[in-house]
Structure formats: C-alpha cells, structure tokens
Amino acid sequence: MKKKLNDMTQTHGKIENYELKSLDQILGNDGTSKYKTLDLEKYTEYLHDLNKSDLQAHAIKIGLLPTDSRETLIKRLVKEFTKHTSLYRVPKQEINDVKLTKNLKDILAEGR
C-alpha cells in the first residue's frame, strides 16, 4: 500500500525550546485559549470553513472590525493570528561567552 504525499509527515529532530516572555506563559498559558490552536494551517482551514456571518462574528471576538470583503477579513485575521503566535514562540537566545584579548579590551576601552 503506497502512502500519499499529503499523509506523510516529516520531522527535523530539533528540540523546540521557547523562551517564556509573560506571566501568563510562566503560569502555564500556551496561547491556545484565544484561537484554540497555534498551527497556522489549521487556523486558515478553520477560517475558510466559516460562512461570512460566522467569520465576522469571529473577527469581533478577536477584536477586529469586520469588513464586507471576505478575503480582506481573512487576511487581517491571519495577520493577527501570526502576531499572537509570535508572542508564544520566541526562541531561547543562546549566550556565548567571548573571551577578549588584552588588545581588544584596550580598543574597546578607548571610547570611555
């Protein structure tokens, strides 16, 4: 039995470490309460399944003024969704200790 390309998944093996930026995140909020997901593909699929009045009601719930154009409203909702998810997916910054030679320290100290 052959698998279809759409049914296959691929992993990259990278451990996703995200930095906690807000008190809500420290207390366990993972960001799914507002949109019910952090997956852009699932969210856009959800938006395309809604009829126009439900889409406008969803926009009001999110905090956007609904427009008459369905496509414009979907674009604005997706933009707000990506803003929201970017708050919850801030990668941890790695701190590299750099050892400076005496010559470099002297150069950097010239501006004092």
- Over the stretch 2-32, which tens digit does the pLDDT of each residue have? 667 677 666 666 556 667 677 776 777 777 7
Q: Is the pLDDT of residue 56 over 90?
A: yes
**What is residue 78's predicted lDDT score, i.e. its pLDDT?**
96
* CB of 52 closer than 8 Å to CB of 70: yes
Backbone angles phi, psi at 91, to 5 degrees: -65, 145
In the chain, the percentage of residues whose pLDDT exceeds 90 is 38
Distances 60 to 7, 22, 48, 64, 77 between C-alpha atoms, Å: 35, 25, 17, 5, 10
Note the pLDDT of residue 72: 95
Span 54-70, average pLDDT? 93
Average pLDDT on 44-65 reads 94
**Residues β-bridged to residue 80:** none
